[in-house]
Chains A and B, each alone.
Chain A
Amino acid sequence: MRCYGFTPIQGSDSRLFHLPTTRLINIPNSNSRFSFSHSSFFTSKLVSATCMPPVSLRTTARAAVNDGLMTEEAAAASGLSFYELLGIPESGSLVDIKQAYKQLARKYHPDVSPPGRAEEYTKRFIRVQEAYEILSDPGRRALYDRDLAKGLHLAFSARRQYQSNEGMEERGEWKNRWQAQLSGLKRRSMNKDADGNLSWGARMRRQRDELANEL
């Protein structure tokens, strides 16, 4: 059977698989077709209900958002959240973020990278920089945290597109919402001034309508 990166523990029940933690993901081999984005598919098949994997489930929504430009390697490697990338807890303050960014930027800057690994380091550097950009802006960080909580782990370039789409999507959602609200208003107004309603406004409206009917 295809090994999706699970290493069965020798001598133990075949149902117990030792799933690697997410932090160790770093697949330099670009030929690898392993992609951790599909982990959610098979966990239900390979792991019994009694043994829940310790790794956080990646939703498949991400696969849909990945544009064709991204290689699988980048997809797998960027499965890290921005917090994991920078090595700080999710409740990290701006100071922590800045420090982590400075450290990593110094480490991965193309100019100081060891020869031969420049390309990989540059990619890392770009990722780190984007992570800093998003996390240091409180508004964008809030949006990112929200998506993180929903289990959406988006690589930033996919995120960038998604963000602008999200902007439009949000506006579209706004429209649905207020259209629903308007129909609610209309519905409410039909029986708003029923005799049971004793508010001052309702009484005045009834009075006005009575006067109008009389004329």
Chain B
Amino acid sequence: MRIGPPIPVPQCRCLLATSPDAQRSPSFSSHFTRGTNLLCPSQEKLHYVQVRKRPGGICASLSERGPEYHSQRPPTPLLDTINYPIHMKNLSTKELKQLADELRSDVIFNVSRTGGHLGSSLGVVELTVALHYVFNAPQDKILWDVGHQSYPHKILTGRRDKMHTIRQTNGLSGFTKRSESEFDCFGTGHSSTTISAGLGMAVGRDLKGRNNNVVAVIGDGAMTAGQAYEAMNNAGYLDSDMIVILNDNKQVSLPTANLDGPIPPVGALSSALSRLQSNRPLRELREVAKGVTKQIGGPMHELAAKVDEYARGMIGGSGSTLFEELGLYYIGPVDGHNIDDLVAILKEVKSTKTTGPVLIHVVTEKGRGYPYAEKAADKYHGVAKFDPATGKQFKSKAPTQSYTTYFAEALIAEAEVDKDIVAIHAAMGGGTGLNLFLRRFPTRCFDVGIAEQHAVTFAAGLACEGIKPFCTIYSSFLQRAYDQVVHDVDLQKLPVRFAMDRAGLVGADGPTHCGSFDVTFMACLPNMVVMAPSDEAELFHMVATAAAIDDRPSCFRYPRGNGIGVQLPTRNKGIPIEVGKGRILLEGERVALLGYGTAVQSCLGAASLMESHGLSLTVADARFCKPLDRALIRSLAKSHEILITVEEGSIGGFGSHVAQFMALDGLLDGKTKWRPLVLPDRYIEHGSPTDQLAEAGLTPSHIAATVFNILGQTREALEIMS
């Protein structure tokens, strides 16, 4: 993740001000004076610097100013006593604030050791403390949308000692997960699902006659997705008691910056929300309205309430009526970093019987409390391991770049030549690499917010007008837009190009982000061209091929990770390959490995393992799943005893298509054996990519062992696996 450029700060010492938020500084100073265990060196000063832009001031870069945060984990006496939310119930407000500060430093130090999502967690520390103080999880259900801000929640609900394992093999998940803890009521990862799930839990509670609270926390970015409105619409109609907390930090896209600075929020909703925040109701009129209701009051409850509602509708922010119209009672905006306010409001709402659905609009700051995160353009949304005192991330230097970057460069090269090429993404400018495209072609890159369904149909509309849209959506997020792909694109044979990043296993993000199914669901569509590059050079050629296919939809998939280091085409411009033609990489005998996508590299690895056993395998790269290279398959089947298809996808994908063809062509009627290697029929948990591949059984050793097993050489198979 790129950090923004250092913001110049004047050298003058008189600008060192403690933060205006009085609740923060006293508790930190208490860390220094309390107890004998002072881990910080005495000469280190902790400053919260308010960055003010002075005209004509002397500028000095941030790093020269010295550390702005602890370098050692400060003592957390209060947090040490809290294992579960029930231990918080007797704390005073002052202690809650101290707890929030300790929790914040705990999050920062944990993430600095493991990497993960930082900014979002820091923004909701006070909210998490307030929620767990007022409500009684796990009877009361608290749902966290997307889940990447749930680190403080996990710390407070019995998982503090496991936080060092987060996002690692056999460790805590980076998102909420039902099987991990009873305090995680719903699994999240894709966004905008919590209001729907929360409504389901509220209605289930009503049907069972129970009495608990349901709270769904959702961000303003997740609010750009249609599902949130579907849920609010239904919630307003059903009128079941539940609380929706809109966590508004004005960060709608990820990362929350492009290469040149912060991204302004996408969409019309954000300006409505900010109008809500800054709207100053005409006080006089409001007072009049209050006076009227007071007079009417007494026995005429209903009328008074109606008048008040009308008055609020007239005077209240122009956005509150949106939520009110959907049937949710709007409260806010509320300062999301003020624990007093939060606790007061939550207590009030909790104690009110028969509220129906209530929306509390909480305003927070992403990355709050960690100076480097506050100043960074991307607010440290997702970080690698870093040094807490300086904020510097430890990024390993890889010899090659990521497939994402290569894709962006390939698309830029295509777009230089063809001015009809545009790119579309759904709030993932950094993740898809399209921030590079945006910088080069500012008017040809479209960020639609978290709205994959709209993105696909939007692309279809563009294609109708002769534009060449490249819809760049993660394989797992494209699942959301499947009907649009089928009905709006494929059925009408519109030439929309789908670039599916994060195909296959994705490492630390786990099964929620894993792109296992895209070969299956794309290749079964009648008009779709489905292809996959086996290395970065092939990726360049496939981008060119997709740009050239203008009469039908096409798609290609590429994984997370870096390239293998092959020579790139000159000036990044790929050459379109003949559709439906694969290639043979290694000539051998008896056994043929037909790989699809980057699994080909594993096949090559397996072939080199077998060399030492005196077997030379044929390795072929199919390139296309649809249309298949039939000639290649026929020749492989006829000249080899065994054909093994390898792909990093689920059943029903490439291997199934090959098998179908072979069966219909009579190639399975003779002596040829066909075996598929696919992802197993279970979800692979998060972990390092190598661990995941081993768990899935698709490493070179696994492939080699499979070959040995088929050949009947079981001993060698076991040898290779150990």
B240 near A201: Cβ-Cβ < 8 Å: yes
Which chain B residue has the least Cβ–Cβ distance from A130? B55
Once the chains are docked, how many angstroms separate the CA of A47 from the CA of B174?
Answer: 72
Show 6 A/B contacts (Cβ-Cβ < 8 Å), sorted by A.
A146-B278, A178-B332, A184-B312, A191-B301, A199-B237, A200-B240
Q: Which residues of B contact A181 (CB under 8 A)?
A: 312, 329-332
Tell me which residues from 134 to 187 in chain A have a Cβ below 8 Å from any Cβ of chain B.
Answer: 138, 143, 146, 170-171, 173-175, 177-178, 180-182, 184-187
Once the chains are docked, how many angstroms separate the CA of A193 from the CA of B333?
Answer: 27
Once the chains are docked, how many angstroms separate the CA of A146 from the CA of B279?
Answer: 10
Which chain A residue has the least Cβ–Cβ distance from B348? A182
Q: Which of A38-46, A65-73, A78-86, A202-210 lines the interface with chain B?
A: A202-210
Tell me if B335 is interfacial: C-beta within 8 Å of chain A. Answer: yes
A129 near B341: Cβ-Cβ < 8 Å: no
Cβ of A148 to closest chain B Cβ, rounded Å: 15
Q: Which residues of A contact B355 (CB under 8 A)?
A: 185, 189, 192
Tell me if B87 is interfacial: C-beta within 8 Å of chain A. Answer: no
Tell me if A2 is interfacial: C-beta within 8 Å of chain B. Answer: no
Once the chains are docked, how many angstroms separate the CA of A193 from the CA of B355?
Answer: 10
Once the chains are docked, how many angstroms separate the CA of A192 from the CA of B352?
Answer: 11
Tell me if B53 is interfacial: C-beta within 8 Å of chain A. Answer: yes
A-B residue pairs, 8 tightest by C-beta: A201-B239, A199-B239, A201-B240, A204-B206, A181-B331, A200-B238, A192-B354, A182-B348
Q: Which residues of A contact B341 (CB under 8 A)?
A: 175, 178
A191 near B345: Cβ-Cβ < 8 Å: no
Tell me if B280 is interfacial: C-beta within 8 Å of chain A. Answer: yes
A211 near B354: Cβ-Cβ < 8 Å: no
Q: Which residues of B contact A119 (CB under 8 A)?
A: none
Once the chains are docked, how many angstroms separate the CA of A177 from the CA of B290?
Answer: 12
A190 near B301: Cβ-Cβ < 8 Å: yes
B331 near A208: Cβ-Cβ < 8 Å: no
A185 near B280: Cβ-Cβ < 8 Å: no
Tell me if A94 is interfacial: C-beta within 8 Å of chain B. Answer: no
Q: Which residues of B contact A201 (CB under 8 A)?
A: 206, 238-241, 356
Tell me if B268 is interfacial: C-beta within 8 Å of chain A. Answer: no
A170 near B280: Cβ-Cβ < 8 Å: yes
A185 near B302: Cβ-Cβ < 8 Å: no
Tell me if B466 is interfacial: C-beta within 8 Å of chain A. Answer: no
Once the chains are docked, how many angstroms separate the CA of A190 from the CA of B356?
Answer: 12
A174 near B335: Cβ-Cβ < 8 Å: yes
Cβ of B169 to closest chain A Cβ, rounded Å: 44
B305 near A187: Cβ-Cβ < 8 Å: yes
Q: Which residues of B contact A117 (CB under 8 A)?
A: none
Once the chains are docked, how many angstroms separate the CA of A204 from the CA of B207?
Answer: 7
B209 near A188: Cβ-Cβ < 8 Å: no
Cβ of A153 to closest chain B Cβ, rounded Å: 18
B345 near A178: Cβ-Cβ < 8 Å: yes
Tell me if A111 is interfacial: C-beta within 8 Å of chain B. Answer: no
Tell me if A52 is interfacial: C-beta within 8 Å of chain B. Answer: no
Which chain A residue has the least Cβ–Cβ distance from B333? A174
Tell me if A96 is interfacial: C-beta within 8 Å of chain B. Answer: no
Tell me if A51 is interfacial: C-beta within 8 Å of chain B. Answer: no
State the majority secondary structure of interface residues on A.
Answer: helix
B358 near A205: Cβ-Cβ < 8 Å: no
Tell me if A126 is interfacial: C-beta within 8 Å of chain B. Answer: yes
Tell me which residues from 206 to 241 in chain B have a Cβ below 8 Å from any Cβ of chain A.
Answer: 206-207, 209, 211, 237-241
Chain A residues within 8 Å of chain B by Cβ, number:
38
Decide: A177 near B281, CB < 8 A? Known: A185-B329, A201-B238: yes
Cβ of A60 to closest chain B Cβ, rounded Å: 18
Tell me if B571 is interfacial: C-beta within 8 Å of chain A. Answer: no
Given contacts A129-B55, A180-B290, A199-B356, 7 further A-B contacts (CB under 8 A): A173-B281, A174-B332, A184-B312, A188-B305, A189-B354, A200-B203, A201-B238
* Residues in chain A within 8 A of chain B (CB atoms): 126, 129-130, 133, 138, 143, 146, 170-171, 173-175, 177-178, 180-182, 184-194, 197, 199-202, 204-205, 207-208, 211
Tell me if B334 is interfacial: C-beta within 8 Å of chain A. Answer: yes
Indicate which residue in B278, B301, B308, B331 contacts A170 across the interface (CB closer than 8 Å): B278
Q: Which residues of B contact A171 (CB under 8 A)?
A: 335
A200 near B302: Cβ-Cβ < 8 Å: no
Tell me if B349 is interfacial: C-beta within 8 Å of chain A. Answer: yes
A185 near B312: Cβ-Cβ < 8 Å: no
Q: Which residues of A contact B237 (CB under 8 A)?
A: 199-200
Decide: A187 near B356, CB < 8 A? Known: A126-B55, A182-B345: no
Once the chains are docked, how many angstroms separate the CA of A174 from the CA of B337?
Answer: 13
Q: Which residues of A contact B715 (CB under 8 A)?
A: none
Q: Which residues of A contact B304 (CB under 8 A)?
A: 187
Decide: A174 near B334, CB < 8 A? Known: A185-B349, A185-B355, A192-B356: yes
Q: Which residues of A contact B613 (CB under 8 A)?
A: none
Q: Which residues of B contact A146 (CB under 8 A)?
A: 278
Tell me if B353 is interfacial: C-beta within 8 Å of chain A. Answer: yes
Q: Which residues of B contact A185 (CB under 8 A)?
A: 329, 331, 348-349, 352, 355, 358
A188 near B207: Cβ-Cβ < 8 Å: no
Q: Which residues of B contact A133 (CB under 8 A)?
A: 53, 55
Indicate which residue in B238, B277, B308, B334 contacts A178 across the interface (CB closer than 8 Å): B334
Cβ of B623 to closest chain A Cβ, rounded Å: 47
Q: Which residues of B contact A192 (CB under 8 A)?
A: 354-356
A186 near B352: Cβ-Cβ < 8 Å: yes
B280 near A173: Cβ-Cβ < 8 Å: yes
B301 near A204: Cβ-Cβ < 8 Å: no
B206 near A187: Cβ-Cβ < 8 Å: no
Q: Which residues of A contact B209 (CB under 8 A)?
A: 207-208, 211
Tell me which residues from 309 to 344 in chain B have a Cβ below 8 Å from any Cβ of chain A.
Answer: 309, 312, 329-335, 341
Which chain B residue has the least Cβ–Cβ distance from A191? B301
Q: Which residues of A contact B290 (CB under 8 A)?
A: 180
B345 near A200: Cβ-Cβ < 8 Å: no
Indicate which residue in A143, A178, A180, A191 contacts B305 across the interface (CB closer than 8 Å): A191
Which chain B residue has the least Cβ–Cβ distance from A211? B209
Q: Which of A192, A204, A207 has the most CB of B within 10 A?
A: A204
Once the chains are docked, how many angstroms separate the CA of A129 from the CA of B57?
Answer: 13
Q: Which residues of B contact A182 (CB under 8 A)?
A: 331, 345, 348-349
Q: Which residues of A contact B206 (CB under 8 A)?
A: 201, 204-205, 208
Cβ of B12 to closest chain A Cβ, rounded Å: 17
Q: Which residues of A contact B301 (CB under 8 A)?
A: 187, 190-191
Cβ of B289 to closest chain A Cβ, rounded Å: 10
B353 near A189: Cβ-Cβ < 8 Å: yes
B239 near A202: Cβ-Cβ < 8 Å: yes
Q: Which residues of A contact B278 (CB under 8 A)?
A: 143, 146, 170
Once the chains are docked, how many angstroms separate the CA of A189 from the CA of B352?
Answer: 7
Q: Which residues of A contact B334 (CB under 8 A)?
A: 174, 178
Cβ of A133 to closest chain B Cβ, rounded Å: 7
B280 near A199: Cβ-Cβ < 8 Å: no
Q: Which of A133, A173, A189 has the most CB of B within 10 A?
A: A189
Q: Mark B459-472, 1 if CB is under 8 A from A, else 0.
A: 00000000000000
Once the chains are docked, how many angstroms separate the CA of A123 from the CA of B329?
Answer: 51
Which chain A residue has the least Cβ–Cβ distance from B315? A177
Q: Which residues of B contact A175 (CB under 8 A)?
A: 341
Indicate which residue in A177, A187, A208 contacts B308 across the interface (CB closer than 8 Å): A187
Cβ of B321 to closest chain A Cβ, rounded Å: 13
Once the chains are docked, how many angstroms separate the CA of A189 from the CA of B203?
Answer: 19
Once the chains are docked, how many angstroms separate the CA of A197 from the CA of B305?
Answer: 15
Cβ of A178 to closest chain B Cβ, rounded Å: 5
Indicate which residue in A173, A174, A200 contacts B239 across the interface (CB closer than 8 Å): A200
Once the chains are docked, how many angstroms separate the CA of A186 from the CA of B264?
Answer: 37
Once the chains are docked, how many angstroms separate the CA of A185 from the CA of B329?
Answer: 8
Q: Mark B37-50, 1 if CB is under 8 A from A, else 0.
A: 00000000000000
Once the chains are docked, how many angstroms separate the CA of A200 from the CA of B204?
Answer: 12
Q: Which residues of B contact A126 (CB under 8 A)?
A: 55
Once the chains are docked, how many angstroms separate the CA of A187 from the CA of B308?
Answer: 10
Which chain A residue has the least Cβ–Cβ distance from B250? A139
Once the chains are docked, how many angstroms separate the CA of A11 from the CA of B240?
Answer: 78
Which chain A residue has the least Cβ–Cβ distance from B338? A171
Q: Which residues of A contact B349 (CB under 8 A)?
A: 182, 185
Q: Which residues of A contact B353 (CB under 8 A)?
A: 189
